[in-house]
Amino acid sequence: MLVKKADGSLEKFEGGKILRTCRRAGLSEESSKTVLQHVTQKSYDKIPTNVLMKIILKEMKKHDTSAFMKFNLRASLAELSPDGIFFEVYMKRLLEEYGYNVKHAQIARGNCSRHEIDLIAEKGNAKIMIECKHHRNQHTFAGLSDAMVTWAAFEDTKEKNRFTEAWLVCSTKISEHAIRYGQCKKLVMMGWANRLGDMIEDKKFYPVTVIESMRGNSVEKAFNLGVLTVQDVVNSDPGKLSKIFGENYQKAIAEAKAVLGD
């Protein structure tokens, strides 16, 4: 059985991949096997990946709500904001969790022009120019043009700003053409399937949009109140949370704790 990807290409249906993903999200081995069995029965040849994902999520939610929320992480990143600013701030805070000193929304002077730089991260001897790409559609790829623009900005600014590296960070996946270009230029590519998902999981630094109580509530309001992650929900006072979630703020706290395993 084949699966049709968002770019139209086909790949083999891999039950093992679904099992591993379910287990990583926190589902038990028995429940993971049950989910795979149901998904296999409901799937068909050349099933679109977005349809397959809906089936997986629906079955997973029946077994473990917190696992379902973590599995839905890529969609939650896509829901972070109506524009890219929230994702940029989220990435700033994620990198700070890894010990980087990060500045947001900087202007860097280059040999030929001035450039708006999303993030500048420093750690040890490294000074990194980072371009962030956020997509509202979780199936949209960062493409070759994104990689080329990032590298061009780095080439123009690296001397005057002493940048040692350039990164392209995307909330979704990165196209194969962009990845090959990045490998050739030594441009670090960080997307959903290229380190970003692992970095979030390792620190349990889930965006607030992971929890179900965030559905229908204002992400912008949460952002303005400093509630951008699941940890922020757990650590914030009830007065602040009630402004975001209303009377359901206690449910939001319970969901956040479940995702974190508290």
Q: Which amino acid, one-letter code, is at 102?
A: V
**Do residues 107 and 174 share a domain?**
yes
CATH number at residue 244: 1.10.150
| Domain assignment of residue 129, yes or no | yes
| Domain assignment of residue 172, yes or no | yes
Q: pTM score, two decimals?
A: 0.81
| Domain assignment of residue 74, yes or no | no
**Do residues 109 and 189 share a domain?**
yes
Scan for tokens 């000074």, then name that residue.
127
| Domain assignment of residue 24, yes or no | yes
- Determine the structural domain holding residue 210 and report its residue range: 206-260
**Do residues 171 and 195 share a domain?**
yes
**Do residues 48 and 96 share a domain?**
no
| Domain assignment of residue 100, yes or no | yes
**Do residues 99 and 164 share a domain?**
yes
Q: How many domains does the chain have?
A: 3
**Do residues 97 and 190 share a domain?**
yes
**Do residues 34 and 57 share a domain?**
yes
- Tens digit of pLDDT at every position of the chain (262 positions): 888 877 778 888 888 888 887 877 677 888 888 888 888 888 888 888 878 878 887 787 777 766 767 677 778 888 887 667 899 999 999 999 999 999 999 999 999 999 999 999 999 999 999 999 998 887 788 899 999 999 999 999 999 999 999 999 999 889 899 999 999 999 999 988 778 988 998 898 999 998 888 877 788 889 989 999 999 999 999 999 999 998 889 999 998 998 887 6
**Do residues 210 and 143 share a domain?**
no
**Do residues 93 and 197 share a domain?**
yes
**Do residues 55 and 144 share a domain?**
no
